[in-house]
């Protein structure tokens, strides 16, 4: 049956859309047959024309059926029956009304999660009647497939529809993704209640509509008002054939026909008209056949050659239709599995999952998903992800349409990931070194060794706590910088040392090795720690012992050798002037003076008493005068709050300055040296800077003991020493020592 456009037939139904909607609801009463609803809609389309039906009747029908279903006056099965009948009837009429030439090609679909397609069908029908080549991808098409279809079929316009049941954020996300993914010249139309918000909040590059006439008008404007004639209906064909016969009769000689009886002339006329009408119908059928062939080819490419396996199963679970991809998954020819139960090709262990999927989808009519394994002919089982939707009706039985994607490789990767995580857990749980994982905000994992190190009773006392709260305040900035570096490098960073706090507040000195990893699917940082608190305490005691020994030797040199030199000098001075020859006596006195000066120098280097007596600032000034004054180097000293330092810290800073000034005198060729010290919130900051020739990083000898000793002294005291230098820019030595109280760092001085 061919649809009769409203422009040629006119509105033959005396009633309006609302009255027709009431008649439709009467046809959907319990016990109504599908055929009765089909005949009712087909007769209505014949009477009012397909254009009037989709633009006026169909919206009214959709509202009436939706209200009746929401109000409980219409069952779910009746609502589904209405949907399937409308789709079948309208699609059938559209096939007969396809124009022979098209003005543009339009792709239609809905976002994932949108299962209502009658609005989309109405748009397709209205635009087709006005000369558009509408290419429907069906419902719930992913963005990637829309983009591929646009490229393959030279689509100029994409129309998407969403009903009020689709979540606004889902509809908006799909629209934005589509806008960014489509080629620049492809237009986007959006309609339906799900996109009603576009009227108040327009999106660049997207045109929205709330009615079919608006969409038709916009299409006509876009194509400059050009219209392609529709396939003519029966009455149009009759009038066209009649006009052709009249034209031919007026041009031909009619003398012989005038002699025939009037009844015979009328019969010949009718036969001629009928002949021309049949010829026009044959031409229309040929064009329709050409379009059907093109559609079959398109269907073959989209269905059989799709990268996803498609399969339709009957209510009894039998395979009634499948594409080539599904056959290749089973490694079987199509003819070998048609009419056979799909469960026969599912691994026995996974058949319960497929059975439950069928039960859920038939009960809820909502798309369902599951993973299962297919038994392949002569091969290992194939993992597939199954997406199922319901099709058909309750009267004939609910068929299922399945889309199957091969996920064998994905499952292999997932299993490898599970195995890897299992091995990781075993290694970390049994590791003797403390390990923790954090996301730069909070602790996500700790192993038993870390629980013991922090003094916790269980992991719950540490998990979820702020990561850097476990780091001593004066080390937090460095720890954060090293963590950021590991994230930026996406790997491990050099080992560094800092202090952490146990749950009871006591500090621990740890060596830290951090690396960027993926934990529970998100970026994270793994931290391996080595508790070196006892080792550092031993180094402090050792350094204290060394300084004590230096002090003892200094005292012995001063008290023994110095006193001997002094005694000899006094004895010589007490002798009569002529007791010794003048020249040798002068040499002996000079040698004694040199011996006394050397003794004082050795004593000062072993243990600077001025540091113990007058403090760090005076000791540094004295040191600079003796070392830098010899080479005429300018210097300035600005050291304050030295009382914040305990004796061991002050001695360490003095030794570091002593070594740094030695390097300046020997290598720097500087003109000025600046020494400064400031007390911070948690640490004492000490700086030595010169304006000498400097050196390039990496050019110093590996055995440069002076630089190493400065860094080791700072590290032993729980701080850090950084040395920065560049050619012609001088050298900066910066020392940071934590202010944790004298009891923690003090070296024995007695």
DSSP string for residues in 75-90: -HHHHHHHHHHHHHHH
**Is the dihedral angle over the CA atoms 87, 93, 96, 101 positive or is it negative?**
negative
pLDDT at 349: 92
> What are the structure tokens assigned to 606, written together?
């072993």
Question: Stretch 521-527: mean pLDDT, rounded?
Answer: 86
Q: What are 113-128's pLDDT values in tens digits?
A: 887 777 777 787 777 7
Q: What are 263-272's pLDDT values in tens digits?
A: 777 787 778 7
- Ramachandran category for residue 244: left, alpha or beta (phi over 0 → left; psi -120 to 50 → alpha): alpha
The number of beta carbons lying within 10 Å of the beta carbon of residue 43 is: 13
Residue 383 has pLDDT above 90, yes or no: yes
pLDDT at 229: 42
CA 344 to chain centre: 40
pLDDT over 70, % of the chain: 80
Reported as type and span, the H/E element at residue 673 is: strand 672-679
The number of beta carbons lying within 10 Å of the beta carbon of residue 143 is: 19
Question: Stretch 351-378: mean pLDDT, rounded?
Answer: 88
Sequence-separated contacts (24+) of 118-122 with Cβ below 8 Å: 118/58, 118/62, 118/83, 118/86, 118/87, 119/62, 119/161, 119/163, 119/191, 119/192, 120/159, 120/161, 121/54, 121/86, 121/87, 121/90, 121/91, 122/54, 122/55, 122/58, 122/59, 122/90, 122/212
Residue 387 has pLDDT above 80, yes or no: yes
pLDDT band, residue 385 (cuts 50/70/90): very high
pLDDT band, residue 734 (cuts 50/70/90): very high
Point out which residues pair with 387 in neighbouring strands: 369, 403
Angle at 727 between CA 726 and CA 733, to 5 degrees: 40
Measure Cα distances from 683 to 93, 143, 506, 646, 650 in Å. 86, 57, 17, 12, 13
| Residue among 65, 61, 58, 57 nearest 16 (CA) | 57
- State the chain's maximal CA–CA distance in angstroms: 185
CB 435 within 8 A of CB 449: yes
**Is the dihedral angle over the CA atoms 408, 410, 413, 414 positive or is it negative?**
negative
If one compares 52 and 711, the residue with the highest pLDDT of the two is: 711
Question: Stretch 558-585: mean pLDDT, rounded?
Answer: 65
pLDDT at 703: 52
Q: What are 248-294's pLDDT values in tens digits?
A: 665 554 555 556 677 777 787 778 777 877 887 788 788 778 777 77
Measure Cα distances from 521 to 329, 418, 493, 517 in Å. 30, 12, 22, 10
pLDDT at 556: 62
HSE, CB side, 13 Å, CA atoms: give it for residue 77.
14
pLDDT at 439: 87
Residue 15 has pLDDT above 70, yes or no: no
Which alpha helices (H) appear in 232-340, and where do they start and end? Answer: 234-251, 255-258, 262-299, 324-330
Q: What are 628-652's pLDDT values in tens digits?
A: 877 788 889 998 887 888 888 888 8
> What are the structure tokens assigned to 7, written together?
């422009």
Residue with tokens 């012989």: 256
> What are the structure tokens assigned to 233, written together?
């209906």
Residue 407 has pLDDT above 70, yes or no: yes
Following DSSP, what letter does each residue of 603-617 receive, concatenated? HHHH--HHHHHH-HH
Mean pLDDT of the chain: 78
Burial annotation 560-577 (CB, 10 A radius, 16+ → b, else e): ebbeebeebbeeeeeeee
Start-to-end CA distance of the chain, whole Å, equals 116
């Amino acid at each position: 049956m061919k649809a009769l456009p409203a422009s040629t037939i006119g509105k033959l139904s005396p009633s309006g859309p609302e009255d027709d909607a009431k008649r439709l609801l009467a046809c959907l009463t319990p016990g109504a047959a599908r055929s009765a609803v089909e005949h009712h809609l087909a007769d209505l389309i014949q009477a009012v024309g397909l254009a009037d039906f989709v633009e006026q009747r169909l919206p009214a029908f959709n509202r009436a059926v939706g209200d009746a279903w929401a109000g409980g006056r219409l069952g779910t099965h009746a609502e589904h029956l209405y949907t399937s009948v409308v789709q079948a009837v309208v699609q059938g009429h559209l096939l007969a009304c396809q124009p022979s030439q098209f003005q543009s090609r339009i792709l239609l679909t809905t976002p994932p999660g949108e299962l209502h397609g009658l609005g989309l069908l109405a748009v397709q029908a209205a635009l087709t009647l006005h000369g558009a080549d509408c290419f429907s991808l069906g419902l719930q098409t992913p963005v990637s497939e829309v983009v591929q279809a646009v490229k393959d079929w030279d689509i100029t316009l994409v129309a998407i529809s969403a009903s009020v049941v689709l979540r606004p954020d889902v509809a908006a996300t799909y629209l934005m993704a589509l806008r960014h993914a489509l080629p620049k010249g492809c237009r986007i139309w959006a309609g339906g209640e799900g996109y009603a918000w576009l009227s108040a909040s327009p999106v660049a590059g997207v045109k929205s509509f709330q009615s079919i006439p608006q969409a038709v008008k916009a299409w006509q404007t876009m194509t400059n008002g050009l219209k392609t004639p529709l396939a003519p209906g029966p009455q149009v064909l009759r009038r066209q054939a009649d006009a052709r016969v009249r034209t031919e009769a007026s041009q031909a000689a009619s003398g012989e026909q005038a002699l025939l009886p009037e009844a015979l002339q009328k019969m010949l006329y009718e036969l001629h008209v009928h002949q021309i009408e049949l010829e026009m119908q044959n031409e229309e059928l040929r064009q329709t056949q050409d379009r059907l062939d093109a559609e079959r080819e398109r269907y073959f490419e989209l269905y059989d050659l799709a990268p996803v396996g498609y399969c339709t199963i009957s209510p009894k679970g039998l395979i009634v239709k499948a594409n080539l991809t599904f056959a290749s998954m089973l490694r079987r020819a199509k003819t070998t599995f048609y009419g056979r139960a799909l469960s026969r090709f599912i691994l026995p262990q996974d058949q319960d999952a497929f059975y439950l999927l069928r039960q859920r989808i038939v009960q809820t009519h909502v798309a369902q998903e599951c993973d299962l394994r297919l038994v392949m002919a002569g091969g290992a089982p194939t993992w597939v992800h199954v997406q199922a939707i319901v099709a058909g009706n309750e009267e004939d039985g609910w068929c299922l349409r399945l889309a199957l994607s091969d996920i064998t490789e994905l499952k292999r990767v997932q299993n490898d990931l599970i195995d890897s995580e299992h091995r990781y857990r075993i290694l970390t749980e049994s590791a003797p070194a403390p390990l923790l994982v954090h996301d730069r905000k909070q602790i996500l994992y700790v192993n038993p060794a870390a629980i013991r190190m922090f003094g916790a009773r269980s992991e719950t006392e540490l998990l979820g706590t702020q990561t850097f709260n476990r780091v001593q305040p004066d080390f937090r900035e460095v720890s954060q910088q090293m963590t950021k570096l590991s994230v930026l490098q996406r790997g491990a960073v050099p080992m560094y040392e800092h202090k952490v706090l146990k749950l009871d507040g006591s500090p621990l000195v740890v060596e830290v090795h951090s690396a960027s990893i993926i934990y529970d699917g998100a970026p994270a940082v793994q931290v391996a720690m080595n508790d070196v608190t006892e080792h550092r305490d031993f180094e402090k005691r050792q350094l204290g012992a060394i300084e004590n020994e230096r002090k003892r030797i200094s005292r012995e040199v001063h008290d023994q050798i110095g006193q001997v030199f002094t005694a000899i000098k006094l004895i010589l001075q007490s002798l009569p002037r002529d007791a010794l020859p003048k020249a040798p006596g002068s040499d002996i006195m000079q040698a004694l003076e040199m011996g006394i000066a050397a003794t004082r120098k050795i004593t000062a280097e072993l243990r600077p008493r001025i540091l113990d007596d007058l403090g760090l600032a005076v000791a540094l000034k004295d040191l600079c005068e003796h070392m830098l004054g010899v080479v005429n180097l300018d210097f300035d000293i600005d050291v304050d709050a030295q009382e914040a330092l305990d004796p061991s810290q002050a001695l360490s800073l003095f030794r570091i300055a002593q070594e740094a000034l030695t390097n300046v005198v020997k290598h720097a060729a500087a003109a000025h040296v600046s020494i400064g010290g400031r007390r911070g919130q948690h640490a004492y900051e000490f700086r030595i800077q010169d304006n000498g020739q400097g050196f390039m990083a990496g050019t110093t000898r590996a055995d440069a003991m002076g630089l190493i000793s400065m860094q080791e002294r700072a590290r032993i005291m729980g701080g850090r020493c950084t040395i920065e230098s560049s050619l012609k820019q001088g050298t900066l030595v910066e020392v940071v020592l934590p202010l944790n109280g004298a009891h923690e760092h003090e070296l024995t001085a007695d």
